[in-house]
Amino acid sequence: MQNRSNNGVFTVAIGSLRQPKIEAVKAAMAQIAPTLGCMPEQIDYQPHSVESDIADTPLSIAEMMQGASNRAHKLAARYRASDQAADYYIGMEGGIFEMPVADGQHAWYLQSWVYAFDGETGCYGSSPAVQFPVAIAREFGQVNFELAEVIARFGQQHNSRNQGGAFSLLTKDMLTRQAIFESAVLAAMAPFYHPELYGE
């Protein structure tokens, strides 16, 4: 795509103020910058607080995808309203979903989704999904439960959203929030850095 700025700087608008998510976007974009026509140091990252308009803890893949899309599109609308434009708008959403497994049983999984939007077209990408142990999954039947509170209680940690979070707890820090969002950003950006395959 064409760089929208006039000074050779690419602008990436990020729909979050949480540091692990910001660092995930930076790490992913640094890897793919040359294929986008710029160098990592030419990228201006602009984090914003933007609502997802969904539940605090999404309970399905569809809801996570919707939340990520909502954030990206609301960011784009905010820029348009101020007569500005970013090269990419990145919306991110994490949550849980339930699906059947062997022997008619069901299991709950943790996953994160990203929607990358260039103002005209967009694409979704997801992180790996990690299964919750039964001891944690049974909490999901509670009314108005908050995933961060459940994870904090099981992990004896505080403010888990700004630490390793649920992924770190489940995987003993093998997968962190930053790492999983980085993978999701790389997946969502694929059509932009591989246009030969996806088409212009």
The ranges assigned to domains in the chain are 10-198
Q: Report CA 21 to chain centroid distance, whole Å.
A: 7
Along the 200 residues of the chain, how does pLDDT read in single tens digits?
Answer: 444 544 678 999 999 999 999 999 999 999 999 999 899 999 999 999 999 999 989 999 999 999 999 999 999 999 999 999 999 999 999 999 999 988 888 999 999 999 999 999 999 999 999 999 998 998 887 767 788 888 888 876 444 444 578 998 899 889 999 999 999 999 999 999 999 999 85
What whole-number distance in Å separates Cα of residue 103 and Cα of residue 10? Answer: 51
pLDDT, tens digit, 9 for 90 and up, residues 84-126? 999 999 999 999 999 998 888 899 999 999 999 999 999 999 9
CATH topology of domain 10-198: Maf protein (3.90.950)
Alpha-carbon torsion (176, 140, 114, 13), positive or negative: negative
Q: Report CA 45 to chain centroid distance, whole Å.
A: 15
What whole-number distance in Å separates Cα of residue 21 and Cα of residue 112? Answer: 11
pTM value?
Answer: 0.91
Contact (CB, 8 A) for 145 and 57: yes
What whole-number distance in Å separates Cα of residue 122 and Cα of residue 65? Answer: 12
pLDDT, tens digit, 9 for 90 and up, residues 160-169? 444 578 998 8
- The predicted pLDDT at position 162 comes to 43
